[in-house]
Amino acid sequence: MPSLDDYKGKTPAWCPGCGNFSILKVFKEAMVELGLEPHQFLIVSGIGQAGKFPHYLKCHTFNGLHGRSLPVATGFRLANNKMPVIVVSGDGDCYGEGGNHLLHGIRRNLNIKYFVHDNQIYGLTKGQGSPTTMEGMPTKNLPFGVISNPLNPLAFAIALNCTFVARGFAGDQEQLRFIIKEAMNHNGFALVDILQPCVSFNKVNTYEWYKERVYHLDNTYDCRNRVLAFEKALEWGDRIPTGILFRCSRPVFEEKIPFISQTPLKDQPFEIEKVNKTLKEFFV
Amino acid sequence: MQGNTAIAESAIQAGCRFYAGYPITPQNEIPEYLSWRMPQVKGVFIQAESEIAAVNMVYGASACGVRAMTSSSSPGISLMQEGISFLATAELPSVIVNVQRGGPGLGNISASQADYFQAVKGGGHGDYKCIVYAPYSVQEMWDITQLAFDTADRYRTPVIILADAILGQMTEPLLKNKSKPLNQVKDWSFGRKRKSGDKPVVIKTLHTKEGELEALNYKLFQKYETIKSKETLFEQYLVDDAQLVAVSFGISARISKSAVNILRKQNYKVGLIRPITLFPFPSEIIHETASLGKRLISIELNMGQMFEDIQISSQGKTEVYFYGRPGGGVFTPSEIADVLKRYL
């Protein structure tokens, strides 16, 4: 059985008090509880403070291009669909630079778990507005306030019939651990938007701000009802629901490619004889 | 003024009224400055969702006849290459600032000159060129930005300002020179007022009719020939009696100049040629200098990119050496002085 020590990585260079610390802690705990060892899965990340996440753990790591984690993860899964693939990204990386890839990733429904550290700001470049920054909020690049509507990632994902859609909060470790484990056990694409206060550059969406607003979806909530889920996804303001908003089952992309559903591409033999036989047919 | 802000304010003074960009270090001060400065002059600032979007927003604004600019740093500029190829083909004026950082890949945020090939030799697909300026001081960041908008409009072509992390971040005194803005009616643009029955404007880069694309390419290269004959800029420093001449651009030229000064005090005969335009490259002066038997050494913050253009220009008339450091490593004047001494 793995232990938390197995996951010990480099000391994080995040600001003291950053919401990423609790996500990191909870993630490790979830992996230990799931009995997963660091060599058994891959984390793909892009650019941003969240992009550093796998460096602060011990696991297989693919730190790729800004916004392109999902295409990398897609290529990886199609070449090796026996290894679980997790993508860790931020709101800028996932919803801005990588927005187009998210759309098509959800459509394909590969078995990829996408955890988005959503702090509603660009942290790495020090305080510019991100796709989820609230309208009207002054930022470094929009000193008179953001003039675009923020993206609602959960409504977006539910509209696309994403097979697992959840929202967690870095300040609610118990629920976040539950969501991460559920996402890992889900067969298909999972989008988990994690509200994560940025203590340095977002002075509006603070721990207090979130704590006053977040509430758990209770046991009576039916996460298989897509219309209800969409309604819940639109709830943002005085009250913000957290938990699993939506789940459904759709065939997984990898299973639709018959020859990799049994043996991963990486283990397929290179049968030169077969090619030769076909080639010879052309020389008759 | 800081180098990055000098570019931003100079763009405003040059009449730039549209800026689109995406955050990346070490050029963030350009968008940050323009985010509040643009509204003051009734210009538009927009933070794009990606560099790909930013360069295409410039593509659209430029087609309306507005002076438009974007800026980024190396990895972001890579993303813009598709758009730059289209801007060059559609002959739309635009200014693209690259505050270079260490590469390849995500690299680091230290100074580098490793995007020389990308800027000068194309970067995107197809036969095209961008005018490429290499400032070496905050003053030149200002002056060249003024010039860049003029040449972009004059030749209807994208212009690249190739700076780097040090130039972008350093602060120096500055004279706010103002170029005379070109008073040009952009007849070709969507911006011109039209009557009904006027020919509509078509911006396109697809030319499938036989010979059409070939003709366009010849036209572009005729334009590039004019640019070569009229826009080449360089500085010569203590070259007349020099036995060894450093050829260097941007921040490495700044460092090399200090090295030349150190050695001159010790009576070594060294000089410097500093290309200010990288395209058009000052081939003639390099060739002349080589023909006089002076030996040349290329000094760059990369593994030898401009070096190749110096070799081509000198056509075997003299020996050409190279010294450089990649990956964000930066040399000091005394380090360069030692290198020069080795080749004297």
**Is some CB atom of chain A closer than 8 A to the CB atom of B36?**
yes
Measured between beta carbons, the chain A residues lying within 8 angstroms of B49 are 96-97, 99, 131
Domain extent listing, chain B: 3-169, 234-342
Confidence of residue A134 (pLDDT cuts 50, 70, 90): very high
d(CA B80, CA B87): 11
Pick from B35, B78, B80 the residue to mutate for testing the A interface (most A CBs within 10 Å).
B35
pLDDT, position A275: 81
In the three-class reduction of DSSP (H, G, I as helix; E, B as strand; rest coil), residue B96 is classed as strand
Average pLDDT over residues A235-245: 97
- Partner-chain residue, chosen from B24, B35, B75, that has the shortest CB–CB distance to A143: B35
Nearest-Cα distance to chain A for B78, in Å, is 11
For residue A284, how many other CB atoms are within 10 A of its CB? 4
pLDDT, position B46: 96
With CA atoms as reference, the chain B residue closest to A95 would be B49
Closest CA relative to residue B247, chosen from B292, B305, B291: B305
Q: Is the pLDDT of residue A227 over 90?
A: yes
Nearest-Cα distance to chain B for A29, in Å, is 31
Average pLDDT over residues B305-313: 98
- Partner-chain residue, chosen from B24, B32, B39, that has the shortest CB–CB distance to A144: B39
Contact at CB, B23 and A67, closer than 8 angstroms: no
What topology does CATH give the domain B234-342?
Rossmann fold (3.40.50)
Q: Tens digits of per-residue pLDDT, A114-128?
A: 999 999 999 999 999
Average pLDDT over residues A220-234: 97
pLDDT, position A276: 83
Nearest-Cα distance to chain B for A47, in Å, is 9
Angle (nearest 5°) at CA B171 between B114 and B47? 65
The secondary structure of A121-137 as a DSSP string is: S-TTTTS---TTSPTT-
Q: Is the pLDDT of residue B185 over 90?
A: no
Q: Is the pLDDT of residue A280 over 90?
A: no
- Give the number of C-alpha atoms closer than 13 A to the C-alpha of residue A35, restricted to the C-beta side: 2
Average pLDDT over residues B248-265: 98
Strands A60-63 and A112-118: unpaired
Q: Is the pLDDT of residue B254 over 70?
A: yes
Q: Tens digits of per-residue pLDDT, B13-45?
A: 999 999 999 999 999 999 999 999 999 999 999
Residue written as tokens 């730190």? A63
Measured between beta carbons, the chain A residues lying within 8 angstroms of B43 are none
In the three-class reduction of DSSP (H, G, I as helix; E, B as strand; rest coil), residue B2 is classed as strand
Interface of A with B (CB under 8 A): 47, 63, 65-67, 92, 96-97, 99, 122, 124-126, 128-129, 131, 140-144
* Averaged confidence pLDDT in chain B: 96
Nearest-Cα distance to chain B for A91, in Å, is 11
pLDDT, position A269: 86
Contact at CB, A47 and B25, closer than 8 angstroms: no
- Contact assessment for residue B323 and residue B298, using Cβ atoms and an 8 Å cutoff: yes
Domain B3-169: what homologous superfamily? Thiamin diphosphate (ThDP)-binding fold, Pyr/PP domains (3.40.50.970)
Contact at CB, A142 and B35, closer than 8 angstroms: yes
Average pLDDT over residues B227-240: 98
> Which of A98-102, B136-140, B191-195, B297-301 comes out lowest in average pLDDT?
B191-195
Contact at CB, A47 and B106, closer than 8 angstroms: yes
ipTM for the predicted complex comes to: 0.88
Can you give the CATH number for the domain in which A89 is found? 3.40.50.970
Average pLDDT over residues A136-159: 96
Q: How many domains does chain A have?
A: 1
For residue A10, how many other CB atoms are within 10 A of its CB? 10
Measured between beta carbons, the chain B residues lying within 8 angstroms of A126 are 28
Closest CA relative to residue B288, chosen from B255, B259, B245: B245
d(CA A161, CA A158): 5
Average pLDDT over residues B177-203: 81
Contact at CB, A129 and B31, closer than 8 angstroms: no
pLDDT, position B138: 98
Percent of chain A with pLDDT over 70: 100
With CA atoms as reference, the chain B residue closest to A48 would be B24
DSSP A5: G
pLDDT, position A40: 96
With CA atoms as reference, the chain B residue closest to A142 would be B35
Residue A12's domain comprises 4-283
Nearest-Cα distance to chain A for B117, in Å, is 21
Nearest-Cα distance to chain A for B110, in Å, is 15
Confidence of residue B198 (pLDDT cuts 50, 70, 90): confident
pLDDT, position B183: 62
Average pLDDT over residues B248-268: 98
- Partner-chain residue, chosen from A66, A99, A141, that has the shortest CB–CB distance to B35: A141
With CA atoms as reference, the chain A residue closest to B50 would be A97
pLDDT, position B200: 85
Pick from A140, A144, A148, A149 the residue to mutate for testing the B interface (most B CBs within 10 Å).
A140
**Is some CB atom of chain A closer than 8 A to the CB atom of B106?**
yes
Measured between beta carbons, the chain B residues lying within 8 angstroms of A144 are 36, 39
With CA atoms as reference, the chain B residue closest to A141 would be B32
With CA atoms as reference, the chain B residue closest to A92 would be B49
- Partner-chain residue, chosen from A99, A126, A129, that has the shortest CB–CB distance to B47: A129
Q: Which run of H or of E encompasses A27?
A: helix A20-34
Contact at CB, B49 and A96, closer than 8 angstroms: yes
Percent of chain A with pLDDT over 90: 92
pLDDT, position B182: 67
DSSP A39: G
Question: According to DSSP H, which parts of A80-152 are helical?
Answer: 91, 99-108
Average pLDDT over residues B143-172: 97
- Contact assessment for residue B295 and residue B321, using Cβ atoms and an 8 Å cutoff: yes
Q: Give the count of Cβ contacts less than 8 A between chain A and B.
A: 44
Q: Is the pLDDT of residue B184 over 80?
A: no
**Is some CB atom of chain A closer than 8 A to the CB atom of B50?**
yes
Q: Which run of H or of E encompasses B100?
A: strand B94-100
> Which of B164-178, B182-196, B212-226, B296-310 comes out lowest in average pLDDT?
B182-196
Pick from B22, B24, B49 the residue to mutate for testing the A interface (most A CBs within 10 Å).
B49
Average pLDDT over residues B146-161: 96
- Partner-chain residue, chosen from B23, B39, B75, that has the shortest CB–CB distance to A122: B23
Contact at CB, B23 and A47, closer than 8 angstroms: no
* Averaged confidence pLDDT in chain A: 95
d(CA A167, CA A242): 5
Contact at CB, A141 and B22, closer than 8 angstroms: no
Residue-wise burial string across A249-281, b where 16 or more C-beta atoms lie within 10 A, e elsewhere: eeebbbeeeeebeeebeeeeeeeeeeeeeeeee
